[in-house]
Structure 1
Amino acid sequence: MPPVSRKLSSVSQSILRASLKTRLLRSILVVTVFVSVLIFLQVTRAQVLKGDYQFQGARTSSTGTSALTDTGVGTNTFQTETVDGVSRTVLRFVNNNGLRLSSATSVIPNNSWTIVMLFKVDSVNSWVRLVDFKNRTSDEGLYILNGQLENCQTCTPIAANTYVQVVYTRNSSGTFAAYVNGVLQGSGPDVNNDLVISGSNILNFFQDDTVEPNEASAGSVARIRLYDAPMTAAEVAALDRLPLLTVTNTNDSGAGSLRQAITTANTQQGLQTITFNIPGSGVRTITPTSALPTISDPVVIDGTTQPGFAGTPIIELNGTSAGTGTLGLNITAANSRVQGLVINRFNGAGITISTGGFNTIRGNYIGTDASGNSAQGNNSGVVISTSTNNTIGGPTAADRNVMSGNINNGFLCNGSNANNNVVQGNYIGTNAAGTAAVPNNFSGVNIIGKDLIGQHGIANSAGVIDKNTAENVVNDPVAGRRSYASDCVVVGSSSNSYTFRPVTCHDGIIQVGTNEVSLNDVARCG
């Protein structure tokens, strides 16, 4: 893309004029650009995401760097739009309004960077300012010109009112490249260092300069990312647009971590999905050093997406280092789902659900090792507190949770408002095959504060509630009042019952069929 300046230097103008005269010189220009690209590729290094502005009701970065501020007359406003088929919050700016990053070189170097912008503008006629590096004191910078990037060589059309991802890169040698939706538009020298952040140390987006003002358009921005080094063409092509919440490493925090994925999901409106693609084979273990963020917005955490998954979980959350009382996953949102995880050794519960309802926990090992054969207990397995209409397990083998080996309860339902929660199809107090005891040390199923476990309350479709070190407790409305009546019966395989009662009533009633909780019947909490 020679040259990159909007007002071309005399040398650059001569190159362009000469290149238009003959095929020979056009070929020379192509070779020059090709060599520039080769030089550019040779000097690139692994880049770090330093700023990720997603505009979910705030102008802050998910990486913790400086926030953007509004520029222009009035305030930019957040609104909901459809971006790439997804309804999400964006920041709307009026004509010649924009955004500013002060102290920009505290985020990225002044002369070596990658800028990624997902946005739309209302008009693409004439000049439309995108990025300014000179604090609006120069007419140079990066623009759209008549529906394409200025000075493009391969020109992808940019339509009005359509979201487009534009990527700009520059290396410390001055080689610059531009991309539209992952397609290289051209590369060349930054002749006059027009794309070096000036001494004022301010980076502006969308608002035009004061030299030839108002070469701008109203529009909306969904995301801006800043990296501290240039990307290659392959890396640009591989960039996501909206956040793809993929866990790519076992780190405790930072880009690609589960912690960051949950944090990002909490900022996105609507249901998000966290997937896994951690390099390596076999079980991949994530060991948090503190509590993971509370899940406060609907999310699916899907361990079955990890390459190599073949029906048993291979993503492990190990709570050994997470701290006293720390929960594995704490869900306050509604309509979330957790599946395909091994969750063990947390000093609090493996999974806690409170307030929000209609969540599903399926296909997890909670309190065992990754083989499902040995106890590596949490304080309790799954705890539901004052939350309604949750499902723990389900009717199929793929739905089955193993809730075994925990220090206290395999499953605890606690609270007068914990209604209509179903525990179905699980192995509680056994190994993953359901063939050997891996007891919870207090109760397999402990339901407190409810007077009735109704029909289809503890349903184990091909599931087992096995013996546990102490009894399984159901309902304790009056302290110290406990009944071991005939409605509390042993649950095991049809050919193998145990002397330990896996369901013990505390002045409660079990009504499943003929007042027994048998092999594949159910308990309902609420």
Structure 2
Amino acid sequence: MNATKIITASTLWLAAIAGNALGQTITVDSSDDFIDFGGAQRVADLPGPDGKVTLAEAALASDNTPGVQTIAFNIPQSDWQYQSLYPGRAVIRPSNPRFFQPVILDATTQTAFTGDTNPDGGEVVIWATLRAIGGNSVVKGFDSTPISVIGSNNIVEQNTGIASIDVFDGENNIIRNNTITSTIKIDRSNYNIIIGNTAQRVRIWGFAGGSGSLVAVGNRLGGPTLAERNYITGYGTVGEEGFPQGTTVQLFDTEDTIIENNWIGIKPNGMEQGNLFSIVGIGFEGVNNGTIVRNNRIAGILGHGQPPHAQGLLFGDAIQISGTGGNISITGNTIGLNANDEPVLGSVT
């Protein structure tokens, strides 16, 4: 493993920001998806004739203005829509929210503006995939918002709700302290740190075939301290024949991955199965080399068969190794025990 590459990503981000001077704060105060400002469409040109700033306008102004802008949210409650679906949250429904230059997207500013109106998470929902494409960005405090970051030195933190987080390309990204009900995916990206999250599934993917080989190298899931532990509760579905299927932590074409001190397959309380249909706790697929699986608690990986053809059948492997590769270390893991070390959450194998 190239230890010199796995340095503190926060330090890298601060260094990157230092090279891109912090800019101005753009405050989104409308839930509309409308652009009516002109000129060079920079921060100085905001707002347009309607006197409001939308997320679409903020994206244009941020990209067109030198420096790293901060996008804040102060949407008045009188402008909150879709409250039957997302009560207590400001919902923005843009067509394609993309930021091409480094940016700080801080939805915790909405909480500071209107208070903690959503006890289960953040106060801003983006009803579309929020994309930070320029690298050296922060995406923070959103609820039920699919997030995609591309490039290096991004930080994705404190996001909540029915959402997924996708990291593509680049390296040295930090995914931390998010509580989401879907998947964290690292896709052909290296030396990323995934710590302190609660999620249903984690996928670390590379691509080892052909001339464009991009193996995912040096990613770390968890770490030795309690603060670094991820709670990966379990992923599974049922096929039309009733057979459960699904892998909770999936490795595909990786190198020098560390999976350490996570709870996999159980709820954060450590006492209950996280998903009735997950059949693999940690799954190796494709070509994986130099993997360390250390000091994890893997429990509750037990898929329950359903009608018409699998009712009453049980399926489950705590760790399943397929494909090729080598130099894999599996050590110090606790399998099938709840948080009280009682053997009540075992797998078939």
1:332 equivalent to 2:145? Answer no
Question: Matches of 1:258 and 1:422 in 2, distance apart?
Answer: 33
Question: Matches of 2:106 and 2:247 in 1, distance apart?
Answer: 28
Pairing partner for 2:76 from 279, 283, 297: 279
TM-score by length of 2: 0.51
Kept in 2: contact 1:413–1:447 (CA 8 A): yes
TM-superposed CA distance for 1:383, in Å, is 1.7
1:292 equivalent to 2:292? Answer no
1:392 equivalent to 2:199? Answer no
5+ residue gaps, structure 2: 1-17, 36-51, 78-86, 132-144, 207-213, 223-228, 238-245, 304-315, 340-349
Residue 423 of structure 1: aligned partner: 221
Post-superposition Cα deviations, 1:217-249, rounded to whole Å, max 9, x if no partner, equal xxxxxxxxxxxxxxxxxxxxxxxxx64133323
1:411 equivalent to 2:216? Answer no
Question: Matches of 2:34 and 2:276 in 1, distance apart?
Answer: 36
Post-superposition Cα deviations, 1:73-109, rounded to whole Å, max 9, x if no partner, equal xxxxxxxxxxxx99659xxxxxxxxxxxxxxxxxxxx
TM-superposed CA distance for 1:454, in Å, is 3.4
Taking a change above 3 Å as real, the CA distance of residues 285 and 443 of structure 1, as seen in their structure-2 partners, is: farther
Question: Matches of 2:89 and 2:58 in 1, distance apart?
Answer: 19
Pairing partner for 1:505 from 321, 332, 339: 321
Over alpha carbons, which structure has the higher Rg?
Answer: 1
TM-superposed CA distance for 1:344, in Å, is 3.8
Taking a change above 3 Å as real, the CA distance of residues 427 and 478 of structure 1, as seen in their structure-2 partners, is: closer
- For the residue of structure 2 that corresponds to 1:387, the secondary structure is coil
TM-superposed CA distance for 1:331, in Å, is 1.3
TM-superposed CA distance for 1:259, in Å, is 3.9
TM-superposed CA distance for 1:490, in Å, is 7.0
- For the residue of structure 1 that corresponds to 2:260, the secondary structure is coil
Kept in 2: contact 1:252–1:288 (CA 8 A): yes
Post-superposition Cα deviations, 1:470-508, rounded to whole Å, max 9, x if no partner, equal 3345331269xxxxxx9999724xxx6756446533347
1:352 equivalent to 2:166? Answer yes
5+ residue gaps, structure 1: 1-84, 90-241, 368-376, 395-399, 405-409, 431-438, 480-485, 521-526
Taking a change above 3 Å as real, the CA distance of residues 247 and 445 of structure 1, as seen in their structure-2 partners, is: farther
Question: Matches of 1:444 and 1:403 in 2, distance apart?
Answer: 10
Post-superposition Cα deviations, 1:352-400, rounded to whole Å, max 9, x if no partner, equal 2122222223343434xxxxxxxxx6xxx22211212222333xxxxx3
Taking a change above 3 Å as real, the CA distance of residues 393 and 357 of structure 1, as seen in their structure-2 partners, is: same
Residue identity in the other structure for 2:202 = F
TM-score by length of 1: 0.36
- Give RMSD over aligned pairs: 4.5
Residue identity in the other structure for 1:491 = I
Residue identity in the other structure for 1:283 = R
Taking a change above 3 Å as real, the CA distance of residues 87 and 302 of structure 1, as seen in their structure-2 partners, is: closer
TM-superposed CA distance for 1:316, in Å, is 2.3
1:477 equivalent to 2:273? Answer no
Question: Matches of 2:295 and 2:332 in 1, distance apart?
Answer: 11
Match runs of 1:357-372 below 5 Å: 357-367=171-181
- For the residue of structure 1 that corresponds to 2:108, the secondary structure is helix
Residue identity in the other structure for 2:298 = V
Kept in 1: contact 2:219–2:258 (CA 8 A): no
